[in-house]
Chain A
């Protein structure tokens, strides 16, 4: 039964993944990617990783909703009424992807994998204890990286920051704004 569910989900995830690059509108591509993520998370749930599986699903639903907004912002083909083909070097990309798949699949099938012990009874508890113990450095680095990302994202996406308004040394008395009005005018 589990194998059947896994096979259905695996085929569905790969098919949705392929659909991402074949549909005509970017909004549909986003939804296809969301479908691929959700279906690919079900095998993770089958492995007993309920926390991480649900985490992937919840995070991807939110992320794809945000992504849909960005898609509308940058989309050149809103309704998908025209065929959309925005690729370069298509044939070589296909060849490289196929070669990489064959290599990875050969490695997966030919390597004599060790068969370790069974998982612990409560993997979520084990993960929590591990992150707060031996692997705390990983959690600290992830936290720092996320914080740095927040700052970098705000800096990159700010249109006009205070250095644009008040000069590089922030000493300008009145801000240099394109439109009059606002604070300091």
Chain B
């Protein structure tokens, strides 16, 4: 096993997530794309820790940080979806474009 293989997996996961993030209309599906992208970061950080560490657990701390970012993002995303759905019956990103420049 090589670091490059892990980084390729992470890049693929990130790219798939980025596609979902950019293309999906439903807010919930956008959140799923975001989760996939963060999962790529988790894989990359774990691989960095294993292959380039100098016996220091810094990479693991990064993984832990990414996991909590994932949890926070999901909770906030669903709360915002609930709030906007309640206020305006909107569950599509296209209908919530008030801040579009």
A76-108 contacts to B, CB under 8 A, are: 76, 86-90, 92-94, 96-98, 100-101, 104-105, 108
What 0/1 readout, one digit per residue, does chain B (9-53) give for beta carbons within 8 Å of chain A?
111111111111011111111001101100100110011011111
Let me know if B61 and A46 touch, CB within 8 A: no
Let me know if A26 and B52 touch, CB within 8 A: no
Let me know if A29 and B32 touch, CB within 8 A: yes
Query: Smallest Cβ distance from B58 to chain A, in angstroms?
Result: 8
Query: Smallest Cβ distance from B70 to chain A, in angstroms?
Result: 8
A48 to B23 Cα, complex, angstroms: 36
What 0/1 readout, one digit per residue, does chain B (85-98) give for beta carbons within 8 Å of chain A?
11000011010000
Let me know if A156 and B22 touch, CB within 8 A: no
With a CB–CB cut-off of 8 A, which chain B residues contact A179?
none
Indicate if A138 sits at the interface (CB-CB under 8 A): yes
Indicate if A174 sits at the interface (CB-CB under 8 A): no
Indicate which residue in B12, B86, B92 contacts A14 across the interface (CB closer than 8 Å): B12
Given A21-B24, A120-B55, A157-B79: A138 and B65 interface contact (C-beta under 8 Å): yes
Indicate if A117 sits at the interface (CB-CB under 8 A): yes
Starting from the known contacts A6-B5, A156-B76, 14 additional A-B residue pairs (CB-CB under 8 Å) come to A17-B13, A30-B32, A33-B32, A67-B28, A70-B28, A70-B78, A93-B19, A108-B8, A116-B51, A119-B49, A120-B55, A135-B58, A150-B75, A159-B86
Chain A interface mostly helix, strand, loop or mixed? helix
A residues contacting B by CB (< 8 A) are 2-3, 6-7, 10, 13-14, 17-18, 20-21, 26, 29-30, 33, 36-37, 40, 43-44, 46-49, 52, 55-56, 59, 63, 67, 70-71, 74, 76, 86-90, 92-94, 96-98, 100-101, 104-105, 108-109, 113-120, 123, 126-127, 129-131, 135, 138, 142, 145-146, 149-150, 152-153, 156-157, 159
Nearest A residue (CB) for B36: A17
**30 CB < 8 A contacts A-B:** A6-B6, A17-B17, A20-B16, A21-B19, A37-B39, A40-B9, A49-B63, A56-B67, A59-B71, A63-B70, A67-B78, A86-B29, A88-B23, A93-B23, A94-B19, A96-B19, A97-B15, A105-B11, A113-B51, A113-B52, A115-B52, A119-B49, A126-B57, A127-B57, A129-B57, A142-B65, A145-B72, A146-B72, A156-B79, A157-B83
With a CB–CB cut-off of 8 A, which chain A residues contact B27?
74
With a CB–CB cut-off of 8 A, which chain A residues contact B11?
100-101, 104-105, 108
